[in-house]
């Protein structure tokens, strides 16, 4: 199976196993989550699912859901979700995650923290022994004096030694999130030693809006591998 087949399988499976009629459902962002959104859309139009309302975690996901006629709502009117389904960039053994390489971390965290069950859908390549080394750990920052904020972040003891880079688009403009903020990507040579401490220090930094460490949030990870899909729990 190709990487894309695995993403489709695990995205579909999450909907089949965890989404029931009448639920409020959080829709994640990314190439894996897009398959879950597709499945919700198809099951609504076939009538297999009814009375679902969904909360998208990005403008991209909102547009996809709309194109599939998936009924949408927002946290302002629905603060409690039955389930949220999303991909991740890294998943460790305790089901702690790095997310946000797709840029949607703030809305993802706001929505997923409100879900009774948060289902993470990944292929095996996302499983890591420690967080922070397969790529960037993103931090969303407010645009005002972002270079100052970047230096404050890089100087935090819990992320000592990291390389901090502003995220840029292909034409080297600063990447702008759905919330009109910027992203500082942190790169590490070794796994983040204390992710809870890093999370606390980052959130205590004025100018930081949110970070990509999703700790103690996931209920279960559905993992797609060569031998099929399995559930990973703590
Ligand atoms: O959290 C994120 O931003 C990630 O991109 C996550 O959603 C994984 O995306 P992927 O399924 O396209 O790898």
pLDDT of residue 180: 98
Decide: 123 in ligand 1 pocket, CB within 6 A: no
pLDDT of residue 117: 98
Contacts of range 188-191, beta carbons closer than 8 Å, 24 or more positions apart = 188/132, 188/133, 188/137, 188/159, 188/161, 188/162, 189/133, 189/161, 190/130, 190/132, 190/133, 191/128, 191/129, 191/130, 191/131, 191/132, 191/133
The atom number, within ligand 1, closest to the CA of 100 reads 3
pLDDT of residue 87: 98
| 193 Cα–ligand 1 center, Å | 23
Q: Is the pLDDT of residue 1 over 90?
A: no
Two tokens at 158? Answer: 């819990």
The atom number, within ligand 1, closest to the CA of 29 reads 7
Residue range 170-181: mean pLDDT, rounded: 97
Decide: 11 in ligand 1 pocket, CB within 6 A: no
The active-site residue out of 38, 108, 112, 140 is 108
Question: What is the average pLDDT value for the chain, to the nearest integer?
Answer: 98
The sign of the torsion formed by the CA atoms of 104, 25, 76, 204 equals: negative
* Share of residues in the chain with pLDDT > 90 (%): 99
- Which of 9, 10, 33, 177 to mutate for ligand 1's pocket (most ligand atoms within 8 Å of CB)? 33
* Structural domains of the chain sorted by starting position, each given as residue range(s) with its CATH number in brackets: 3-128+215-226 (3.40.50.1360), 137-210 (3.30.70.260)
Q: Is the pLDDT of residue 197 over 90?
A: yes
Judged on CB neighbours under 10 Å (0-12, 13-18, 19+), 126 is buried
Q: Is the pLDDT of residue 226 over 90?
A: no
Q: pLDDT by residue (tens digit) across 84-106?
A: 999 999 999 999 999 999 999 99
pLDDT of residue 37: 99
Q: pLDDT by residue (tens digit) across 120-167?
A: 999 999 999 999 999 999 999 999 999 999 999 999 999 999 999 999
Q: Is the pTM of this model over 0.95?
A: yes
Helix ranges (DSSP H) in the chain: 3-18, 33-46, 59-67, 105-112, 146-154, 195-203
pLDDT of residue 98: 98
| 16 Cα–ligand 1 center, Å | 20
Whether the Cβ atoms of residue 103 and residue 203 lie closer than 8 Å to each other: no
Confidence of residue 223 (pLDDT cuts 50, 70, 90): very high
Judged on CB neighbours under 10 Å (0-12, 13-18, 19+), 219 is middle
Q: Say whether 124 is catalytic.
A: no
Q: pLDDT by residue (tens digit) across 64-84?
A: 999 999 999 999 999 999 999
ipTM of the complex, rounded to two decimals:
0.95
To the nearest 10°, report the CA torsion of 53, 90, 172, 150: 100
């Amino acid at each position: 199976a190709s990487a894309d087949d695995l993403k489709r399988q695990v995205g579909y499976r999450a909907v089949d196993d965890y989404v029931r009629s009448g639920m409020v459902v959080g829709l994640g962002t990314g190439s894996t989550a897009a398959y879950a959104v597709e499945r919700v859309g198809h099951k609504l139009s076939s009538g297999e699912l009814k009375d679902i309302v969904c909360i998208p975690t990005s403008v991209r996901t909102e547009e996809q859901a709309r194109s599939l006629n998936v009924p949408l709502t927002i946290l302002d009117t629905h603060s409690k979700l039955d389930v949220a389904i999303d991909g991740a960039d890294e998943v460790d053994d305790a089901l702690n995650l790095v997310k946000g390489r797709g840029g949607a971390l703030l809305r993802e965290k706001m929505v997923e923290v409100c879900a009774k069950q948060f289902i993470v859908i990944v292929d095996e390549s996302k499983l890591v022994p420690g967080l922070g080394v397969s790529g960037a750990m993103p931090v969303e920052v407010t645009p005002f004096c972002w270079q100052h904020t970047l230096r404050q972040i890089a100087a935090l003891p819990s992320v000592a030694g990291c390389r901090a880079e502003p995220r840029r688009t292909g034409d080297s403009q600063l990447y702008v999130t759905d919330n009109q903020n910027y992203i500082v990507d942190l790169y590490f040579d070794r796994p983040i030693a204390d992710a809870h401490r890093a999370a606390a220090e980052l959130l205590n930094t004025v100018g930081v809006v949110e970070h990509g460490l999703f700790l103690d949030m996931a209920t279960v990870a559905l993992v797609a591998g060569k031998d099929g899909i399995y559930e990973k729990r703590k």
